[in-house]
Amino acid sequence: MGLFELFRRPRSGEAARSKAPGIGLFDEQFQRKLEMLALVSRRVFAGRQRAERRSKKQGSGIEFADHREYTVGDDFRTVDWNAYRRFGRLLVRLYEEEEDLSIYLLVDCSSSMGFRDERKFDQARRLCAALAYVGLANLDRVTIVGVSDEIKSTLPTTRGKGRILQVFRFLSQLQPSGVTDLEACLTKFVAQHKRRGLAVLISDLYDPAGFERGINVLRFNKFEPYVLHLVDPRDAVSDLKGDVRIYDCETGEERDVTITDGLLRKVAEAVAHYQSAIERFCASRTVPYFAANIDVPFDELVLRVFRRGGFLR
Amino acid sequence: MFLAGLPLTTLLLVGGGVALATVVLYILKLRRRPVAVPFASLWERVLKDREASTFFSQLKRWLSLLLQLAMLAALVLALGDPRPEASALAARNLVVLLDSSASMAATDVDKNRLELAKKKLLELISGLKSEDRMLIAKLDANVRALSPLTSETGVLRQAVERVRWTDTALDLQQGLSFAQDVLRGLPNAEVIVISDGAFVAPASLRDPLGAKLSFVGVGKESDNLAITELSARRYPLDKSRYEVLLALENTGKKAALVELSLFGDGQVIDVSQLRVEPGERVPRFFTDLAGASQQLEARIRVLEGKDYLPNDNRAFARMPERRRAKILVVTPGNTYLEAALLLDEYLDVTQVEPSAYPPSGSFDVTILDGVAPPAAPNTGARLFLNPPASGSPLKRGPRLENFGFDTWDRKSPVLRFMDLLDVQVASGYALKPEPGDHVLGQSELGPILVSGTRAGQSFLSLGFDPRDSDLVLRVAWPLLILNAINTFVEQDAEYQSAYRTGDIWRLRVPAGLETADLKRPDGSRVSIPVREARAEHFGEYAGFYQLSWAGAQVPFSFAANLQDSAESQIGPQSELVVAGAKAQIVSGFEPGLRQRYWGYLLIAVAFVSTLEWFTYHRRLTV
């Protein structure tokens, strides 16, 4: 290493790349915890049949969903004659089609996820693996996609918990790099995946263009978004002092700042405000939201996710 | 104010250059430390809100620059070494005579007069100009320099701290002579006397002072009661009993009721109350006191009135040891002599015939009745009664008949308490004293009682046989014998119930010593020199002393007292007049004249710099 290397600012994601991928991330202890989580999920949601999920796709199920006008070619058996007698209109009964759920686990792989010591990214991968395992164990169709400003990598749709090792391998190969542009990336995602389903976005939502856009892409394309917001408490606390030049770890955008206690308090307030803004946004759009503190063990987080609902039904 | 360091033009050049460099450095941007953040947009939002406070930030920046320039100006000014204008005046040479006599222990001011005087002296030291030189001398009955003639205030302050009062009177004449010697030939000489003025100033000086004389007075009150005299003695014929003379004096302006206590070896002997009018001296006799007391102490306690000087409220006295004197009597038989010797039970008498002389043993005194054999060793002093023509230390003169004592030395201890006027002598011989001999009594026809020393041994010679006179029938006869013995054994001769402080004490010790060890009343010990078998010490403190030396089995104890009525007159004086000239009021000691501001400037710079460093790193001023 040359002398100037000592003073060179590391480029975004460089620190993350220097670390060997997935070392110790999915060890035996982790796998045992996954088993436990699968058992717990079965106990919590006992009575449900596998792949017994209602989908918004009306079809040949047995549970009534809605009426629509009769059109030529419809099965006469589906005509609701009682409704015809009451309203004088030909209405066809629609039933919810029962099918196995497609779960898309969207893992944010931008540089901000690997900021500092990649704890955030590691936690994201553990959470992803846990949710994937539970999904696989429930015979759901699980797809994992690494996102940043583009789709970095995709684990093709798979099912059955025997494929969990494939999931591990895939997650281990993911590296945090690049900037966050959820809107562009998820637009590509929805275009590539016609089969709608549960889209779990595991991200810190540090999107310069705004976190709303990415979530809205999922909403507007009939996906059921589930936001798993990774929160690093250290983002709100800093021991910085004096005159510094801050730069964004993704965009490299710079700004000269004299850091004071007052400024640090303001930044902490801004971080808290940003998180509450995400929470309010999701609540107003009935998007399930869960703030995952990375200091909390992943298995505890997953259980909270289960209890919160929206992931397993 | 003037600059003693770099000249003004140089300071302006240096200051301007460094100030310019400071400004240039200040406006250069600092290379900031790059710090990554996970999401800069959050910071942007905060920083936008803070834009409003930019003006204040800029103001703080400019204030910081102004502070830097102010510190720089202070440093440059320090290089100039600014000093007060008055300190540029001519340097003075000062001798301070600080009164440490007994009256300075008066408590009519805060703590006591000496502490106030020291405080005033410290103020003078603080007001010294940088080039002034000062010598501090402690003045009581003696004068002692405590510092060299120096401008170092630290040395002077240390000298002041060492001063403590003594139980002695003040001798201003001696102090002024000392100051004259120190200041001789020096310019701008000045003598400053710091005292309560409670002394008799010399009406004239041996030599003109040759220096300005200034006076700083201390003290307010004059009320004081003192024991001005205390002496004791044993009765000659009964040494187990003694009498005490004591004098009490009110030197103040108000009457006082006093409790007088007399202690013997720490035990109360007598307590009485006295009313003493202003200026009154009350003598008190305590007679026929009994007990084996060695140490006597008198104390007074003022019950009504004021007493501002505690030093003279105690007096000490020591009584002589009662030791058996060994007496050798060489006589064919003398009833009167034997009877006289029987009166003193503390005499160990050995009587031998002239043919048996000298007997074995050691004696303090040998009484030779009508004989004069050659002096034998260890026979002590000799008392000759009617000595023969040969063998006596004195030659015999013409024979006398019908004579008596026409004159006698009334102050001689041998003849005290005696009246010899009517003594009739039938016959005898006149004595021929030699130079150095002392004629104690003589008739008109010649000396008949002579004392002297031969070969280092004292003698007393009576020129007639007492049995040929009516002396043996008088009280004077045993007194003469016992006084002579007491004189010889020096029990009374050199005995002093108390020495006086302020004098040089010459205490008898065995010959051949060079030093002796003196234990002072406060318990401290000091080695004092011995000259001609006399240990010499300048007595400063009242109390009981113990003198010991190599080979001494029992130390010699003695007492010392102030016993100075004049020193007990503590009325302070507001002015001092010496040899008709009035001392001036001290001037030219303004605090701050000695100030060297560069030190303060550096301290200020260091303080501001530290403050700025602290506030900067605590982010209070950025």
pLDDT at A15: 41
* Same domain flag for B405 and B538: no
pLDDT at A58: 52
Tallying the residues shown for chain B, one arrives at 622
* Same domain flag for B405 and B516: no
* Same domain flag for B346 and B359: yes
B247 domain residue, yes or no: yes
Q: Which of B466, B492, B518 is the last residue of a domain?
A: B492
What does the alpha-carbon distance between residue A225 and residue A212 come to, in Å, rounded to a whole number? Answer: 12
What does the alpha-carbon distance between residue A82 and residue B145 come to, in Å, rounded to a whole number? Answer: 134
b vs e for B422-451, b when ≥16 Cβ sit within 10 Å of the residue's Cβ?
Answer: ebebeebbbbebeeebebbbbbebbbbbbb
What does the alpha-carbon distance between residue B63 and residue B578 come to, in Å, rounded to a whole number? Answer: 63
Under an 8 A CB cutoff, do B619 and A260 touch?
yes
Which residues 6+ apart lie within 8 Å of B274 measured at CB?
B248, B257, B258, B260, B282, B284
pLDDT at B472: 93
pLDDT tens sequence across B180-229:
999 988 888 999 999 998 887 887 777 777 888 999 999 998 899 999 98
* Same domain flag for B109 and B154: yes
Q: Provide the CATH number for the domain around residue B290.
A: 2.60.40.10
pLDDT at B323: 72
B140 domain residue, yes or no: yes
pLDDT over 50 (residue B492): no
Under an 8 A CB cutoff, do B40 and A115 touch?
no
The verdict on A127 touching B (C-beta cutoff 8 Å) is no
B525-531 and B556-561: which strand pairing?
A: unpaired
Q: Provide the CATH number for the domain around residue B508.
A: 2.60.40
> In the structure, what pLDDT confidence band is assigned to residue B281 with cuts at 50, 70 and 90?
very high
Instruction: Say what percent of chain B tops pLDDT 90.
Output: 42
Which residue among B46, B57, B617 places its CB closest to the CB of A267?
A: B46
Task: Return the SS3 of B612.
Answer: helix
Q: What is the crossing angle of helices B54-79 and B597-617, to 10°?
A: 160
* Same domain flag for B353 and B400: yes
* Same domain flag for B167 and B25: no
DSSP class of B469: B
* Same domain flag for B445 and B545: no
pLDDT at A197: 85
B139 in the Ramachandran plot: left (φ > 0), alpha (ψ -120 to 50) or beta? beta
* Same domain flag for B245 and B195: no
| Cβ-based interface (< 8 Å): residues of B facing A | 30, 32-47, 49-50, 57, 617, 619, 622
pLDDT at B580: 82
Return the residue in B26, B32, B35, B39 with the most chain A beta carbons within 10 A, the one to mutate for interface testing.
B39
- Average confidence (pLDDT) over B462-490: 90
CA nearest A237 in B: which residue? B37
pLDDT over 90 (residue B622): no
> In the structure, what pLDDT confidence band is assigned to residue B377 with cuts at 50, 70 and 90?
confident
Half-sphere exposure for B295 (CA within 13 Å, toward CB): 17
Task: Please report, to the nearest 10 degrees, the dihedral formed by the alpha carbons of residues B270, B275, B279, B280 taken in order.
Answer: -60
Among the residue ranges B105-109, B279-283, B325-329, B605-609, the one predicted with the least confidence is B605-609
Q: Provide the CATH number for the domain around residue B101.
A: 3.40.50.410
B248 domain residue, yes or no: yes
Nearest to B156 by CA among B572, B597, B583, B594: B594
Q: Provide the CATH number for the domain around residue B362.
A: 3.40.50.880
Here the tokens at position B74 are 């202070």
In terms of average pLDDT, the best of A61-65, B27-31, B353-357 is B353-357
pLDDT tens sequence across B83-141:
766 666 678 899 999 999 999 999 998 889 999 999 999 999 988 887 789 999 999 98
pLDDT at A62: 64
**Interface contacts (A, B; CB < 8 Å):** 87
Which residues 6+ apart lie within 8 Å of B56 measured at CB?
none
B422 domain residue, yes or no: yes
In terms of average pLDDT, the best of A255-264, B2-11, B233-242 is A255-264
pLDDT tens digits for chain A (313 residues)?
Answer: 333 333 344 444 444 333 434 446 777 777 777 777 766 665 554 434 444 444 445 555 566 777 888 888 888 888 999 999 998 888 988 876 555 678 899 999 999 999 888 889 999 998 898 888 888 887 788 999 999 989 999 999 988 878 888 998 999 999 999 899 999 999 999 999 888 888 999 999 999 888 999 999 999 998 889 899 999 988 887 777 777 888 898 888 888 887 878 888 888 899 999 999 999 999 998 888 888 888 888 888 877 777 766 565 4
Total structural domains within chain B: 5
* Same domain flag for B368 and B454: yes
B592 domain residue, yes or no: no
pLDDT at A288: 87
B595 domain residue, yes or no: no
B351 domain residue, yes or no: yes
Which residues 6+ apart lie within 8 Å of A94 measured at CB?
A58, A64, A65, A66, A67, A68, A78
Return the residue in A207, A237, A245, A251 with the most chain B beta carbons within 10 A, the one to mutate for interface testing.
A245
Q: Which of B318, B333, B362 is the last residue of a domain?
A: B318
DSSP class of B150: B
What does the alpha-carbon distance between residue A128 and residue A172 come to, in Å, rounded to a whole number? Answer: 11
Mean confidence (pLDDT) of chain B: 86
pLDDT over 60 (residue B266): yes
* Same domain flag for B212 and B232: no
* Same domain flag for B69 and B91: no
Strand residues in A26-150 grouped as ranges (E) = 53-59, 63-69, 91-99, 102-108, 141-147
The verdict on A244 touching B (C-beta cutoff 8 Å) is yes
Q: Would the CA dihedral through A259, A265, A268, A270 be positive or negative? A: negative
Residues facing residue B457 across a β-bridge = B454
Q: What's the angle, vertex CA A282, arms to CA A279 and CA A288, rounded to 5?
A: 100
* Same domain flag for B470 and B382: yes
Contact present, B361 and B326 (Cβ < 8 Å): yes
pLDDT over 80 (residue B501): yes
Tell me the residue range of the domain where B415 lies: 325-492
How many CB atoms neighbour CB B121 within 10 A? 22
Cis before B358? omega within 30: yes
pLDDT at B545: 93
pLDDT over 70 (residue B150): yes
Contact present, A267 and B39 (Cβ < 8 Å): no
Q: Which is higher by pLDDT, A97 or B606?
A: B606
pLDDT at A14: 42
How far is the first Cα of chain B from the last one, in angstroms, to the nearest whole number?
Answer: 38
pLDDT at B601: 84
Q: Which of B269, B284, B318 is the last residue of a domain?
A: B318
B594 domain residue, yes or no: no
Chain A, 178 to 217: residues with Cβ < 8 Å from chain B are 204, 206, 208
Under an 8 A CB cutoff, do B36 and A248 touch?
yes
